Homo-oligomer: A and B are copies of this chain.
Amino acid sequence: MIGVFDSGVGGLSVVKEIFKELPQYPLIYFGDTARLPYGTKGADFVKRYSAKIIDWLLKRGAEIIVIACHTSSSWAADFLKNKFKGVPIFEMLGPAIKEVSGKKIGIIGTPGTIKSGSWEKKLLEFNPKLKIYSRACPLFVPLVEEGWINKKITREVAGEYLKEFKNRGVDNLILACTHYPMLERVIRRAVGSGVRVINPAESVARELKFFLADKEPLIGKTQFFFSDQPYNLDKISHLCLNQKIRPIIKDPF
* Residues of chain A having any CB pair with chain B under 8 Å: 33-37, 40-42, 45, 111, 138-139, 141-143, 145-146, 152-153, 156-157, 160, 228-232, 249
Contact = CB atoms under 8 A, between A and B. Distances in A.
Given A45-B34, A228-B45, A153 B157 contact: yes
Nearest to A40: B231
Nearest to A41: B228
Contacts of A41: 33-34, 228-229
A24 B33 CA distance: 40
Nearest 5 A/B pairs, CB to CB: A40-B231, A138-B142, A42-B229, A139-B142, A42-B228
| Identical copies in the complex | 2
Nearest to A160: B153
A41 to B, nearest CB: 5
Contacts of A249: 42
B231 A111 contact: yes
Nearest to A115: B231
A40 B45 contact: no
Contacts of A139: 139, 142-143, 146
Nearest to A49: B34
9 contacts: A33-B41, A41-B229, A45-B228, A111-B232, A138-B145, A139-B142, A142-B142, A153-B156, A153-B160
Contacts of A142: 138-139, 141-142
Contacts of A40: 33, 36, 230-231
